[in-house]
Chain A
């Protein structure tokens, strides 16, 4: 049992933190999220080619640094600290995770492209009727000659407007909510019949509604077994959920630090409002939520390799705690700032918006508590 980071992990964190301090200050971020594309592509390229950061979680045989979930957590936490909108989560954590799990020729072909910064992969899994149920799919992939034909509607696909590829869940068999019959495809984002409606998200990113209209996809787009991909999808979504907890930790830390700083400057009744005990205790409660979010992220990261039941219980415990903490820290950061907190002017509100979206990402606190109860509190 060991709770320390390796030197390499410390180096990854420091390198990334320095890079983001130079490139991702709040004003710069606001500028590029509001340009036409909604991002600065040079940052992603630099992360890949100057820092080698996109390879941190991949094996050396694919050109990576040999890391895994801990490295993903480190990167995501630092991204959270700058409310980064880079497509690390769907590209590296989710698609990269699925490719690592599947291995073979698909991994050999695609992982080097991810590491080089050439591939951006969006994860098209949610559907209007499905809420957080990964198996609730109307999107279908029907066998057709040597390949498949894809039809359906995917909701709120983050980073899809920038994507070179889409990772798509679709039904190749079974009923709408069956565990069997779920398949996973990695496809070119520009295939004929893919219709996107792009829009900005409230937390500064871009997303799309995606409609597949008789999209012909090749047979080798299938990742894992046909109709048997649900366990793989559940696993990568668990990995993504923990990575999101890590991001939340970074976001929450900044919400807390920003509030500490503000209360020491802001004067009312002739003194900095940080002198008031009621605010001090609130900021201590926020601090404790940040630390517990960090603890839960580490807990779940270390348990990602356990058998599915234990892994899922650990991930749900973490997401529940982090979602509750993110709400508490976010809302109290705004309350403590007062009126200025509800304007677009300060960074604090933008951190709050990201924290709020993270609460629901891959399942709300209640969703995860339900799952935790089913797994850990059997009658």
Chain B
């Protein structure tokens, strides 16, 4: 056991740093610094640069387009991209449906969808939650009824993140109403341009249009777009959730977040001293940093276990719980740190509007981000559900 980087690792680290410095889009960096909301093109700009380089999917097996990096190289990659404040790539294709397709899909599905996920040609969204099925996901009621070589899908999904940009969605639908809840579900890939699909925005507390309702009325989906067996979709869903939970820890991004809060607390004054000299503020920040270190090493241990052939298991729920709590505490401290300038409501730059928003740059999105990040303990299986999973799967209760 050791934490040393080999000479090869250090060379790789330098290569990554150089690549980011030379290739990260300046325009995107500017928007991030100003706290502007990012467009579909913004999200895809960095994606396409990484695709061209061949670095878009480090976690994938090499045969499907992965990088073949060692676990240490992947660790370096996530550290360096966070350190350089690169935007997070959209997870729906790369981290969610991609692994489901290469694990459970047909050769035709793999050949068609995987390259398009890698290139960014298809933007994916996730059709899981329903108005009546949140934490109790398996109670979902959207139906798919077989009609020749098609399914006819009817129902309503909600909290569908960035569905307004999506070309494709992966959906959990009920294909057997009489089976036990989890046994009558199938996993379908649906073209979001199909007739019968309506996407309606939901505006969240920060004022963002991030999530949507998706209505499906008599939507025809070819049976060829079902992944894995009929009524076995829950297997894919569980696999995907465990994958989603590991990435959800967000360690590298939170480390970068702590550095940002420190910088703010060195700038903001509290009396005649920087806020960072305030013993109460400093203690909260220090505890957060210590807790993040604990999460980081728990994740590293979990990755070591995963490399030993144990895939992401139920212990990834721990990473989700602690990771999301830390992300929230970070936004809470940021909002606290900016003081008065948490209040002005920055709607983003309108058409022809180039007036600088009120207050320092670092304050613009402090409150909206705080409000928005309340989602982290709710989504991906609420933290209460994660505790149920650990109780059942790890503690055997």
* 11 CB-based A-B contacts, threshold 8 Å: A1-B3, A1-B71, A1-B72, A2-B304, A263-B397, A264-B397, A283-B395, A284-B390, A369-B286, A373-B283, A379-B274
Interface 1/0 per residue, B65-93 and A, CB below 8 Å: 00000011001000000000000000000
Instruction: Indicate whether A274 reaches chain B with its CB closer than 8 angstroms.
Output: yes
Residue A288 contacts which of B3, B285, B286, B322 (CB distance < 8 angstroms)? B322
Taking the nearest CB of chain A, how far is it from the CB of B248, in angstroms? Answer: 15
B387 adjacent to A5 (CB under 8 Å): no
A296 adjacent to B277 (CB under 8 Å): no
Residue B300 contacts which of A3, A284, A292 (CB distance < 8 angstroms)? A3
Max chain B C-beta neighbours (<10 A), residue from A5, A263, A317, A321: A317
Instruction: Indicate whether A291 reaches chain B with its CB closer than 8 angstroms.
Output: yes
Residues of A within 8 A of B300 (CB): 1, 3, 295
**Chain B: which residue is nearest A325 at the CB level?**
B294
A299 adjacent to B266 (CB under 8 Å): no
B-side interface residues, number (CB < 8 Å): 47
Bound-complex Cα distance A294 to B294 (A) = 9
Residue B293 contacts which of A70, A287, A296, A369 (CB distance < 8 angstroms)? A296
Instruction: Indicate whether A100 reaches chain B with its CB closer than 8 angstroms.
Output: no
B9 adjacent to A260 (CB under 8 Å): no
Contacts A292-B322, A298-B301, A317-B290 known; 15 new A-B pairs at CB < 8 A: A1-B75, A263-B397, A274-B397, A275-B397, A281-B384, A283-B391, A284-B395, A287-B318, A288-B322, A295-B300, A296-B294, A296-B297, A299-B293, A302-B3, A377-B285
Residues of A within 8 A of B71 (CB): 1
Residues of B within 8 A of A44 (CB): none
Q: Given that A288-B318, A369-B283, A376-B289 are contacting pairs, would A280 and B397 also be in contact in the complex, using a CB cutoff of 8 Å?
A: yes
Instruction: Indicate whether B273 reaches chain A with its CB closer than 8 angstroms.
Output: yes
Residues of A within 8 A of B296 (CB): 295, 299
A292 adjacent to B298 (CB under 8 Å): yes
Listed in ascending order, the chain B residues whose CB lies under 8 Å from chain A are 1-5, 9, 71-72, 75, 262, 266, 273-274, 276-277, 282-283, 285-287, 289-291, 293-298, 300-301, 303-304, 308, 315, 318, 321-322, 384, 387-388, 390-391, 394-397
A4 adjacent to B304 (CB under 8 Å): yes
A70 adjacent to B395 (CB under 8 Å): no
Instruction: Indicate whether A303 reaches chain B with its CB closer than 8 angstroms.
Output: yes
Bound-complex Cα distance A283 to B71 (A) = 31
Q: Given that A260-B395, A295-B301 are contacting pairs, would A288 and B290 also be in contact in the complex, using a CB cutoff of 8 Å?
A: no
Instruction: Indicate whether A372 reaches chain B with its CB closer than 8 angstroms.
Output: yes
Residue A260 contacts which of B266, B286, B397 (CB distance < 8 angstroms)? B397
A373 adjacent to B397 (CB under 8 Å): no
**Chain A: which residue is nearest B262 at the CB level?**
A377
Residues of A within 8 A of B301 (CB): 3, 294-295, 298
Instruction: Indicate whether A320 reaches chain B with its CB closer than 8 angstroms.
Output: yes
Q: Given that A1-B72, A296-B293, A373-B286 are contacting pairs, would A70 and B1 also be in contact in the complex, using a CB cutoff of 8 Å?
A: yes
Residues of B within 8 A of A281 (CB): 384, 387, 391
Q: Given that A3-B1, A288-B318 are contacting pairs, would A298 and B397 also be in contact in the complex, using a CB cutoff of 8 Å?
A: no
Taking the nearest CB of chain B, how far is it from the CB of A149, in angstroms? Answer: 43
Residues of A within 8 A of B308 (CB): 4
Residues of B within 8 A of A320 (CB): 287, 290
Q: Top 6 nearest A-B pairs by Cβ distance?
A: A3-B304, A295-B297, A280-B391, A292-B294, A295-B298, A284-B387
